[in-house]
Amino acid sequence: MIQAERRLYLIRALLDEQPDYKNMEVPAEVSEQRRLLRSLFNIRTPRPVSREFLKIQDAYLQQAIVEKGITDISSLSPVGKGMYLWKGDITTLRCDAIVNAANSRMLGCFAPCHGCIDNVIHTYAGVQLRLACAELMERQGHPEETGRAKITPAFNLPCKYVLHTVGPIVSGRLTALEEKQLASCYASCLELADRKGVKSLAFCCISTGEFHFPPQRAAEIALAAVEEYKAETNSIIGGTGMISKSWMESPSGKTS
């Protein structure tokens, strides 16, 4: 089965799950099909799916990521001891783990084709990621606290794990509490990664998008938090700072 056939199968299977969209006409344009598929992935609630669906979905997403171009962390040049700076598509980075800037529900972004990193990571990891997050949150029984972190498999991404952390939402003047919460996001991820045996961890720019944390100050806090953790623990984790955007409808995976 080629990518076009996989894409049409996935679209039709997901439309069949939605009574309101069951008879929707599938667009002929490839770009519109990709956008529709991403939208259907995004709005799908966490629930079981057939093995056949997963087999075809996994083949489709893995090929889509290959077409965007995978970057191996070993090909990057460090800017400091165990520290890297990379601008790119986080869903194409091959390393032990990546960090997702999540919200307190921890289920991913349900807005079709939204530009946040939470949406992109859940899209390319596959429907299994939302289900895994839902199971974690059901066991926890309450929304995730700001500054904490959870870990899941990465499923179809080229990394092994995804760490999900909830950053502070800045709605006015930046406060000391919000700065402390952001630092806690980095420390929580590093502690959890160490416990899991992660050797390379790629951070996104937590809270600087939809949560409106000032980027310059966020970068300063991120570097200080990572350096402080490594100094205190002698951790051998290699950290990667990055800015990332990715779009299902843009197979080239170019940043924007």
- Tell me, rounded to whole angstroms, the distance of Cα 148 from its chain centroid: 16
What pLDDT does 235 receive?
Answer: 85
Cα separation, 91 vs 248, whole angstroms: 11
Cα end-to-end distance, the chain, whole Å: 31
Give the orientation angle of helix 30-43 with respect to helix 3-17, to 10 degrees. Answer: 40
- For 201-250, what is each residue's pLDDT tens digit? 999 999 998 899 999 999 999 999 999 999 999 888 866 655 444 333 33
Q: Is 160 helix (H, G, I), strand (E, B) or coil?
A: coil
Q: Which of 128, 120, 4, 5 is nearest to 58 (CA)?
A: 128
DSSP 129-148: HHHHHHHHHHHH-SPPPTT-
For the chain, count helices (H), then strands (E).
7, 8
pLDDT in tens, 85-120: 899 999 999 999 999 999 999 999 999 999 999 999
Predicted pLDDT at 254: 30
> What's the pLDDT score for residue 100?
97
Structure tokens at 28: 């002929």
Compute the CA torsion angle 173, 177, 178, 182 (nearest 10 deg).
Answer: 150
Q: Is the pLDDT of residue 41 over 90?
A: yes
Label residue 204 exposed, middle or buried (CB < 10 Å: 0-12, 13-18, 19+): buried
- pLDDT, tens digit (0-9, with 9 covering 90-100), for 128-183: 999 999 999 999 999 999 999 999 999 999 999 999 999 999 999 999 999 999 99
Q: What is the pLDDT of residue 241?
A: 59
Q: Does the global pTM surpass 0.75?
A: yes
